[in-house]
C-alpha cells in the first residue's frame, strides 16, 4: 500500500491509529477474537435483531418495518459484502459488517451494526478495523457515514484510522462522512 506502514503486524493509515493487517484478500477475515464471514441461515435471527432493536437502530432511522425485514431475511444469506461478525471462541454472532465496493461516490463504503450486549468490548473496533484494512488492499479509499449525534460510532471510526471528510444533512439528520485513503500523503 503506498504511503502506509506496517507496524507490529498492523497496517497504519497515514495520520491515524493502527488497523489490523488483513489475513487474506478473500475468504473469511480472521482477527485475534473474531471471524468475519458470509451470513448463514443460522445467523438470520441475530441479524433480524440488528434490524429491529431500538438501541441498535437509534441512529439508523429506527427499527425496520416487518415487511422489509421479511424481504431482507430472504436476501441476506450469502449476500456479497455482508459479513456476520462471529466470536471465534464460541461462534456467537455479535453483529454485521458490510463492505460495499460501489458505495457513496463510487468509493468503498463500510457500515456496521452490533448487538447491544456486545457493545463496549472492542469487538466493533476489531471487526471494522480489519474490514477497512482488507478493503484498502485493493480500494483507493474507504468511507463510512454515521449520524453526527452518534458519538460512539464517530470515536470508533477515528480509532480505526478514518478521518472526518464532510458533514451534510440526509434523512432529516446531520450526518458525517469519514474517509481513509490508501495513498494519502502527509498533511502540510
* pLDDT value for 55: 94
Parallel, antiparallel, or unpaired: how do β-strands 93-100 and 82-87 relate? antiparallel
CB 160 within 8 A of CB 125: yes
Q: How far apart are CA 38 and CA 179, in angstroms?
A: 24
Phi then psi for residue 110, to 5 deg, are -110, 135
Condensed to tens digits (0 to 9), the pLDDT of residues 97-106 reads: 999 998 888 8
Strand partners, 109: 100, 143
Q: How far is CA 103 from CA 15, 92, 183, in A?
A: 24, 28, 19
Condensed to tens digits (0 to 9), the pLDDT of residues 152-173 reads: 999 999 999 999 999 989 878 8
CB 84 within 8 A of CB 38: yes
Average pLDDT over residues 34-63: 96
Specify the DSSP class assigned to residue 20.
E
Helices 151-159 and 123-138 pack at an angle, to 10 degrees, of: 50
User: Radius of gyration of the chain from Cα atoms?
Assistant: 16
* pLDDT value for 22: 39
Give the mean pLDDT of the chain. Answer: 85
Q: pLDDT at residue 20 above 60?
A: no
Residue from 130, 42, 29, 38 nearest 84 by CA:
38
Q: pLDDT at residue 12 above 80?
A: no
Q: How far apart are CA 136 and CA 55, in angstroms?
A: 30
Q: How confident is the model at residue 77 (pLDDT cuts 50, 70, 90)?
A: very high
- pTM of the complete model: 0.83
Amino acid at each position: 500500500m503506498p504511503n502506509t506502514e506496517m507496524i507490529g503486524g498492523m497496517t497504519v493509515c497515514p495520520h491515524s491509529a493502527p488497523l489490523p493487517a488483513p489475513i487474506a484478500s478473500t475468504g473469511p477475515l480472521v482477527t485475534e477474537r473474531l471471524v468475519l464471514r458470509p451470513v448463514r441461515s443460522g445467523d438470520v435471527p441475530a441479524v433480524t435483531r440488528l434490524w429491529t432493536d431500538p438501541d441498535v437502530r437509534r441512529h439508523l432511522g429506527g427499527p425496520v418495518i416487518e415487511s422489509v425485514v421479511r424481504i431482507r431475511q430472504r436476501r441476506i444469506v450469502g449476500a456479497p459484502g455482508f459479513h456476520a461478525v462471529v466470536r471465534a471462541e464460541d461462534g456467537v454472532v455479535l453483529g454485521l459488517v458490510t463492505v460495499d465496493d460501489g458505495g457513496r461516490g463510487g468509493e468503498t463504503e463500510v457500515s456496521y451494526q452490533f448487538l447491544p450486549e456486545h457493545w463496549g468490548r472492542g469487538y466493533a473496533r476489531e471487526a471494522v478495523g480489519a474490514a477497512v484494512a482488507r478493503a484498502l488492499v485493493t480500494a483507493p479509499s474507504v468511507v463510512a457515514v454515521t449520524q453526527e449525534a452518534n458519538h460512539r460510532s464517530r470515536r470508533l471510526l477515528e480509532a480505526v484510522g478514518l478521518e472526518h471528510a464532510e458533514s451534510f444533512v440526509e434523512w432529516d439528520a446531520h450526518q458525517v462522512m469519514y474517509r481513509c485513503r490508501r495513498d494519502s500523503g502527509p498533511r502540510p
